[in-house]
Amino acid sequence: MFPIDIHTINREGKALVIVIVGIIAGLLYPLLSKELGDPYAMVNGLLIGVLGSLYVAMVELYISDPHNRKRGFLARIIRKSLTYTIFFVFLILLVLSISRSIQAGLDYLEYLTSEAFYNLVFKEDFHIIVLYTLLFSTGIIFVNQLSRKMGQGVLWNFITGKYHNPREEERIFMLLDMKDSTSTAEKLGDLGFSNLLNDFFYDITPAIIHTSGVIYRYVGDEVVVSWRMQQGLKNANCIRTSFLAKLVIRRQREKYLNTYGLVPDFRCGFHYGPVVVGQIGDVKSQIAFSGEVMYLASMIESQCKSDNMENLVSGDLLKRMSLPGIYDMQPVSSIVNRAGKKIDLYTITEVSFTQPY
């Protein structure tokens, strides 16, 4: 089934990453605190790392309410790091006390009432462990949320400097544009329209991510999405995005009708070609694409409007793709690029499957 929320996409993979980070963090602490030789410390660290990260993965990926995603950035960070720290403090205390009671050869309850347990909590470096946990969880959560804000892969690309020197890449582009946005904006007013756009973008985001699309930018009521060739062509991912997004909006239509008195609809234009990708600007840096394909994709998108089509895909792109059986294509019209070459445009529809009674 198609996941309606972003964080349920590829859950198992993400859970694995969280657990690995947990194990590393768990093993790192005993190393830092010079308890390297002590097997107990290593086992404890490992145990805390595994159990803790399993809990985090469970909460993050399987339990937390997707609708809470709209909470503020700061509120999210504070709430998460506090709840996790409290959980971790108890987990660490539990693991340490069990391990110590085994070490001391005492019964667990006996150990809890002993002087040694009191010392562990109040005299030893327990408060440093708590601080370490708080800092570690806040740090990870902060970077995670930040990376989400910046866009898929953007933070990583800044750090590695992949596009520090501009390079040429072949990419697929989709321009997704809201229908009748001018009249909608007039009807709702600036603030209302801004809210509608925000809800709309928020709702279609999972459809884009699920099909490996990378959101490049928002321009007014338009989203520009791009794919690396391989990922966009696989399963006809790029085409699928637009149909998934339609489904998502359909499922949410009641909410839109109640809030705004209308359900947003959109058109998409698709094309592919070479672009120069580079990190531009010192302040407010962007990883920017530039190339004729961007311009052509936007021409194709406006052609949708004049041909009154839901989507238009360039023949060049369709030639590279094997279209799954559930889609049909029909030639519609064509545009001309700067060099005067004609680009044929096709529209993709879903095959309607019917059965006799």
**Which CB atom, from 209 or from 343, has the smaller least distance to another protein?**
209
Cβ 204 to another protein, closest distance in Å? 10
CA separation for the pair 263, 196 (Å, rounded): 10
Cβ 25 to another protein, closest distance in Å? 14
CA separation for the pair 68, 145 (Å, rounded): 14
Q: According to DSSP H, which parts of 221-335 are helical?
A: 229-233, 237-251, 253-260, 292-307, 315-320
Contact 173, 297 (CB under 8 A): yes
**Which CB atom, from 154 or from 348, has the smaller least distance to another protein?**
154
Which amino acid is it at 18?
I
Cβ 338 to another protein, closest distance in Å? 11
**Which CB atom, from 70 or from 103, has the smaller least distance to another protein?**
70
**Which CB atom, from 9 or from 93, has the smaller least distance to another protein?**
9
**Which CB atom, from 14 or from 98, has the smaller least distance to another protein?**
14
CB-count exposure of residue 292 (10 Å: 0-12, 13-18, 19+): middle
Which amino acid is it at 214?
V
**Which CB atom, from 29 or from 117, has the smaller least distance to another protein?**
29
CA separation for the pair 289, 287 (Å, rounded): 7
**Which CB atom, from 6 or from 332, has the smaller least distance to another protein?**
6
**Which CB atom, from 34 or from 319, has the smaller least distance to another protein?**
34
SS (H, E, C) 157-183: HHHHCCCCCCEEEEEEEEEEEECCHHH
The CA-based angle 261-8-28, given to 5 degrees, is 135
Cβ 182 to another protein, closest distance in Å? 12
Cβ 131 to another protein, closest distance in Å? 7
Cβ 183 to another protein, closest distance in Å? 16
CA separation for the pair 318, 234 (Å, rounded): 12
Cβ 231 to another protein, closest distance in Å? 16
- Positions of E strands within the chain: 167-178, 214-219, 222-228, 266-280, 286-290, 311-314, 327-336, 342-350
Nearest of 352, 308, 353, 314 to residue 331 by alpha carbon: 314
Which amino acid is it at 192?
G
Cβ 95 to another protein, closest distance in Å? 23
Which residues contact another protein (rule: CB under 8 A)?
6, 32, 69-70, 72-75, 131, 135, 139, 146, 148-152, 154-155, 158-161, 164-168, 190-191, 193-195, 197-198, 201-202, 205, 209, 215-218, 220, 276, 278-286, 288, 290-291
**Which CB atom, from 50 or from 288, has the smaller least distance to another protein?**
288
Contact 203, 249 (CB under 8 A): yes
Which amino acid is it at 41?
A
**Which CB atom, from 58 or from 280, has the smaller least distance to another protein?**
280
Cβ 99 to another protein, closest distance in Å? 23
Q: What is the DSSP string of 313-347?
A: EEHHHHHH----TTEEEEEEEEEE-TTS-EEEEEE
Cβ 324 to another protein, closest distance in Å? 26
CB-count exposure of residue 330 (10 Å: 0-12, 13-18, 19+): exposed
